[in-house]
Amino acid sequence: MKKTILFLILTTLFVQTCDLKEHSYTEAGKDNYLNNATEAETVLMGIYQHMEKDGMYGYHLSLLFTISSDIAQCEGSATSAFRVIPTNTHTASLNEISVSWQELYSGIYDANDFIETVSQRMENWDDANRALATVYLAEARSLRALYYFELLRWWGNVPLVRTTAESRQDASLYRQAAPEAVFAFIENDLKWAADHLPWASDDTLRSHGEYRFSKGAVLGLLSKVYCTWAGSPVKDTSKWADAADAARRVIISGKHDLNPDFEALWRNTCNGVWDPMESLIEVSFYSPTALNSNDPTGRIGKWNGVSATAVAGVRGRNAANWKVVYPFVKEWMTHDDPRLWLSVANYKYGHASGGVTVTDGYITYEETAGSTSEDRLNRQRQLFTPAKWDTEKYVSSANALINNDKSNVNWYVLRYAEVLLLYAEAVNELVGPTTEAVQAFNKVRRRAFGDTEHDLPLTVSQDAFRKAIRQERAYELCFEGHRKQDLIRWGIYYQTIMETAQKVADWYPEGNYTVARYTIEGKHELMPIPQRECDLMKGIQQNDAWK
């Protein structure tokens, strides 16, 4: 069962002048704490804890920001409430955008504070404590890199705050760094971490390694950073070689592999079962009750899961606000891929059918239609949802949380399957398809189909391989928060949204794909800098298309 991340709350100092210096413990608190590796580990858990917040992977960076693409959309046709960001109708003043910005910089401040303090204190510790402290510093630098990576991907032009002293400067002195400088800072942190972290299977120093950074996690993330650096908007194509090298180090290590059972991935993440072979970065959520907003719970399976009505004392309601774009399903059905109906739910739980409410089992949307007319069926097909986090199917009673909004379901940030696909992509962009790149791609395919009959041939062309990789990422990683950012780094986000709108219209003229009505090319590839930050920090410039 998952371990709840505990954070020793020390005296907290809130600084209100600027969101780049959110909080940390006071100097007095530090004088009485962080005197050995055990105490350092406790504070380190607080840096991890940022990942659980709504502004990060509890909601925004997993579900809210990532949804609108060619494979998923928000329910309904309105542009109000939670639909504002998914329909690209948001403005720079929207609270959710500001909350995520603040949470990321708060995590960076805590990482900076930890790195500075532990680096200084550990000089007086014994060898055993210094060895542990070095690993903890590598974890803190990994987390700092991840938080900066999210800032860079979503906002593009962000201040680079390297130290706590920089956080304390006057608000008027902040400036945005060039994206290349932020990428280089992330690269430096991850390279250092990779040199000082153990592989998950070789970890003998830490008290536990569950849901914590390892060498494989860092190298996998580094490969993804390089692929993003090589793509739009920076387009430094020299980074393809670095991306391939980082991913290859994970692959040839033999320390990670695919879980042979694709469905087991979702059973595991729904029940807090840590699988260090395939799961590289995973956010752990757990609370027995979810009594307040600070409990380490997320909205995974509630906001993006299979629709379910509440049953008193048995389960909470699943809103199922993520809807699958049906032309994506329609095309996928032509491949006879076993992952399809493990990833897409054409059913729901506990809804009325023929005047009878189904409380056990499920009812398909086709059955709900009550008619075989194509119009009725198409209306129901717009209601398909992701199935990977089917709380009724996968969550055991030991991990159940009877709540209408929150769950104990974990969130994958990076899986080994993605590392294989990143390697294939990087090599292909660098030199075209090689035997090793095609083999990495086919390894993912073989797990999916259970045979070699669906392998891509070694003679595939570069263009065909590129297309296959992009399609395979949609199938293997669908609804896991990657697709929108993939389309952005490939430079085809707007184009794909428009093409998808046409596919929806061709399939069902009455179909809903609201995001296409509001998406503007060159604007919605980035979030606006939060207006509050622009108001506080006069040297910060709003992203061009949002001015």
Q: What is the pLDDT of residues 473-506, one digit of tens each?
A: 999 999 999 999 999 999 999 999 999 999 999 9
309 compared with 11, residue with greater pLDDT = 309
At 64-118, the pLDDT tens digits run 999 999 999 999 999 999 999 999 999 999 999 999 999 999 999 999 999 999 9
In this prediction, residue 10 has a pLDDT band, given cuts at 50, 70 and 90, of very low
pLDDT band at 354 (very low <50, low <70, confident <90, very high): low
Residue 491 Cα to chain centre, angstroms: 20
What are the φ/ψ torsions at residue 73 (nearest 5 degrees)?
-155, 170
> CA of 373: how far to CAs of 54, 270, 377, 379, 505, in Å?
41, 36, 6, 10, 18
Predicted confidence at residue 110, as pLDDT, reads: 97
pLDDT of residue 367: 80
Taking the C-alpha atoms of residue 512 and residue 507, their distance in angstroms, rounded to an integer, is 11
In contact, 417 and 259? CB cutoff 8 Å: no
Pick from 143, 140, 153: nearest CA to 61: 153
Identify the sign of the CA torsion 367, 371, 372, 375: negative
List, in order, residues 6 or more apart from 356 with CB less than 8 Å away: none
Q: What is the pLDDT of residue 15?
A: 31
Q: Rounded distance, CA 347 to CA 489, Å?
A: 33
Instruction: Give the per-residue SS3 of 11-30.
Output: CEEECCCCCCCCEEECHHHH
- pLDDT of 358 > 60? The answer is no
pLDDT of residue 121: 96
Q: What is the pLDDT of residue 2?
A: 38
Q: Are strands 322-324 and 72-74 parallel, antiparallel or unpaired?
A: antiparallel
Nearest 5°: phi and psi at 414?
-150, 130
Q: Could you give the C-alpha distances from 359 to 88, 311, 362, 402, in angstroms and in order?
A: 36, 8, 8, 15
Whole-number Å distance between alpha carbons of 452 and 298:
38
Amino acid at 371: S
Q: Judge contact between 401 and 358, C-beta under 8 A.
A: no
Q: What is the pLDDT of residues 433-478, one digit of tens each?
A: 999 999 999 999 999 999 999 999 999 999 999 999 999 999 999 9
Q: In whole angstroms, what is the distance from residue 130 CA to residue 423 CA?
A: 35
Size of the chain in residues: 547
> Rounded to an integer, what distance in angstroms lies between the CA atom of residue 418 and that of residue 405?
29
Identify the bridge partners of residue 411 per DSSP, sorted by sequence position.
283
Q: What is the pLDDT of residue 418?
A: 98
pLDDT of residue 465: 98
Which ranges constitute the DSSP H helices of 231-338? 239-253, 262-270, 326-332
Helix (H) or strand (E) holding 439: helix 435-449
What is the 8-class DSSP label of residue 298?
B
At 7, the pLDDT band (50, 70, 90 cuts) reads: very low
User: What digits encode the pLDDT tens for the residues 192-230?
Assistant: 999 999 999 999 999 889 999 999 999 999 999 999 999
Q: Is residue 11 predicted with pLDDT exceeding 90?
A: no
Domain ranges of the chain: 1-184+514-547
* Tokens at 162, concatenated: 């390297």
Q: What is the pLDDT of residues 360-417, one digit of tens each?
A: 678 888 887 766 789 999 999 999 999 999 999 999 988 889 899 999 999 999 999 9
- Going by C-beta distance under 8 Å and a sequence separation of 6 or more, which residues neighbour residue 9? none
pLDDT at 8: 30
With 0-12 / 13-18 / 19 or more C-beta atoms within 10 angstroms meaning exposed / middle / buried, residue 56 is buried
What confidence category does residue 290 fall into, taking pLDDT thresholds of 50, 70 and 90?
confident
pLDDT at 419: 98
Which two structure tokens, joined as six digits, stand for 232? 């739009």
Which pLDDT score is estimated for 352? 60
Omega before 528 within 30 of 0, i.e. cis: no
Alpha carbon distances (Å) from 133 to 139, 207, 214: 10, 12, 15
Question: So what's the pLDDT on residue 292?
Answer: 81
* CB 73, CB 86: distance < 8 Å: yes
The tens digit of pLDDT for each residue in 111-169 reads 999 999 999 999 999 999 999 999 999 999 999 999 999 999 999 999 999 999 999 99
- HSE-up (13 A, CA, CB side) for residue 141: 27
CA 217 to CA 227: how far, in whole Å?
15
Which ranges constitute the DSSP H helices of 276-373? 326-332, 340-343, 365-369
How many Å apart are CA 430 and CA 238, to the nearest integer? 8
- CA atoms of 335 and 21, how far apart (whole Å): 51
Q: What is the DSSP letter of 4?
A: P
The CATH code for residues 1-184+514-547 is 1.25.40.890
Assess whether pLDDT exceeds 90 at residue 14: no
| Cβ proximity of 413 and 285 under 8 Å | no
